[in-house]
């Protein structure tokens, strides 16, 4: 299996200026796993989040858009179209590696964790401790967990692949049911409807 890797990853910090990192376009994708909201800025995908159903106990992540030039909106919409196509192919079990440019916002440490997550092979799981070792900070297990939870680009930055050291499922921003379905899909199963 190939690694889920992204050719274009722009590490953006909050010091880069609001105009540079805020999403300027978004759309909702309807899938068998529920509704997925994606958003982008001119550099790439900034958000990928599931929308909760009435029965879900987790809250939606708010994605506020800012005004932008027509040229920047066009770039953002191109990223959205690419992301939509790749996500649909992934959920059908036909795509194991993403190429859509990413532009997540976070701290230097969060970017280290997210980039380490991008090296985690499709269909394989690891622990927070494993990621802490990948970033050469073995004592940062809890901080890795926090950075994992701060990931705003689900699926593509594969935080769902992180499980407990004992092999048990650990928390997931969109609930353990979705996490299990993503893991099942990547292990050759069917994601099925929620």
- Separation CA 142–CA 48 (nearest Å): 23
- The 8-class DSSP code of residue 3 comes to B
The string of DSSP letters for 133-166 reads HHTT-TT-HHHHHHHHHT-SBTTTS-GGGB--TT
Indicate if 159 belongs to the active site. Answer: yes
Q: Give CA separation, 180 vs 66, 91, 168, 186, 194, in Å.
A: 34, 13, 11, 10, 11
Give the active site residue among 159, 162, 178, 183: 159
Spacing of C-alpha 78 from chain mean position: 18
Where in the sequence numbering do the catalytic residues fall? Answer: 159
């Amino acid at each position: 299996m190939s690694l889920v890797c992204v050719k274009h990853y722009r590490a953006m910090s909050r010091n880069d200026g609001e105009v540079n990192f805020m999403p300027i376009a978004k759309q909702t994708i309807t899938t068998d796993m529920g509704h997925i909201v994606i958003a982008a800025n001119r550099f790439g995908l900034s958000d990928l989040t599931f929308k909760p159903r009435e029965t879900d106990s987790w809250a939606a992540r708010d994605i506020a858009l800012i005004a932008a030039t027509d040229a920047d909106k066009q770039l953002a919409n191109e990223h959205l179209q690419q992301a939509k196509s790749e996500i649909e192919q992934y959920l059908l079990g036909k795509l194991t590696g993403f190429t859509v440019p990413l532009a997540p916002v976070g701290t230097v440490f969060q970017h280290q964790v997210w980039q380490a997550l991008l090296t985690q092979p499709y269909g394989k799981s690891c622990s927070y401790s494993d990621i802490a070792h990948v970033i050469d900070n073995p004592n940062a297990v809890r901080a890795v967990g926090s950075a994992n939870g701060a990931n705003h680009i689900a699926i593509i930055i594969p935080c769902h692949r992180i499980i407990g050291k004992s092999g048990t499922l650990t928390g997931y921003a969109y609930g353990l049911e979705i996490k299990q379905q993503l893991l099942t899909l990547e292990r050759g199963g069917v994601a099925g409807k929620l």
